[in-house]
Amino acid sequence: MTPDAPLGRIGNTGTVIRHVSTELEARISGTCHIVWSMAVAHGAPLSEEDLIVRVDGVPVASDEFTDVHGTRLYRTVADGRTVSFSYRATVDGPAAVPPAAETDLVTYLRPSRYCESDKLGPVAWQEFSGLAGQALLDAVGDWVHDHLSYVGGSSRGTDSAVDTLLARKGVCRDFAHLAITLLRAMNVPARLVSCYAPGLEPAEFHAVVEAHVDGRWLVIDPTRKAARTSLVRIATGRDAADTAFITNHFATLTLTRLEVTATTEEPTTPDDQRSAVELR
């Protein structure tokens, strides 16, 4: 990506129009290698998209690469005192949902850094034995929602599903981690998706769950805060370790400003949270 340049423009392909943006500013302590994960995932139809990274106010180039799930990452070497990230995009319609690879069905059944399904297996089987398919997804989403309190700032970046269950509170990533853990313990492949969520209050990056049932990746929002049909995928992975919106190496980075917006041109459709929905 060259400095101060649009990422690309594609013709209109749909009617579900969503506008998303991120404005981020941070202080850095020296030469910092930064990986950003805030762009709409590959595969979504975009009519416009612009991204600008600045170091001490001057636009700089970033390397772009895409992972196997379409997560688009931008890597910047920032040599200065401040760095900013400005992104906006218009999504014109639904994104294609690729079928699961056989490796996905193995990877997303295994325990991971934040989702210790091996430790919470007994809890899962006690609560959800005998359930399968959509009934299991509904039950896990309801159980996590009912057993946790959503409290902003209540968790640490190192908290896992076990920590969340013990604390009985957290934010969206914590709700998602616990739901993923319980589903994997019930032999359902499950993964975390970071996304833009039109209608979410307060506006922020959101984390939801995708579970593989009957050949489809179905989305669950255990917080019950977002309309699943309007979500816009950013990153997909095992847990928050794979989907962090910013990662820094070789120097410290301190956020000083973060503003996220996500809107639709039509009113957001109410979500009963119980129908089978794919993240499009």
Residues of the chain scoring pLDDT < 70: 1-15
- What's the pLDDT at 266? 81
What does the pLDDT read at residue 1?
57
Q: Are residues 137 and 214 in the same domain?
A: yes
Asked if 53 and 83 touch (Cβ cutoff 8 Å), the reply is: yes
Residue showing tokens 């089978």: 276
Q: Are residues 57 and 118 in the same domain?
A: no
Query: Which stretches of 55-132 are DSSP H helices?
Result: 102-107, 121-128
Q: Is omega for the bond preceding 202 within 30 degrees of 0, making it cis?
A: yes
3 is a domain residue? no
- How many structural domains comprise the chain? 2
Q: What is the pLDDT of residue 96?
A: 84
Q: What is the structure's pLDDT at 5?
A: 43
22, 112: one domain: no
Please give the residue range of the domain that contains residue 172. Answer: 102-241
Q: What is the pTM of this model?
A: 0.93
171 part of a folded domain: yes
Residue 75 near residue 35, CB atoms below 8 Å: yes
Is 279 inside any structural domain?
no
Q: Which pLDDT score, from 0 to 100, does residue 13 have?
A: 36
CATH number of the domain bearing residue 63:
2.60.40.2250
Q: What is the pLDDT of residue 3?
A: 56
Q: Mark whether 128 and 196 lie in a shared domain.
A: yes
Q: CA geometry: angle at 187 spanning 183 and 192, to 5°?
A: 40
Give the contacts of 114 (CB within 8 A, at least 6 positions apart).
159, 160, 161, 177, 239, 240, 241
In whole angstroms, what separates CA 235 from the centre of its chain?
5
Biggest CA–CA distance in the chain, Å, is 59
Q: How far apart are CA 131 and CA 136, in angstroms?
A: 5
Nearest alpha-carbon partner for 88 in 137, 20, 42, 29: 20
Q: Specify whether 54 is located in the same domain as 107.
A: no
pLDDT digits (tens, 9 = 90+) for 68-82: 999 999 999 999 999
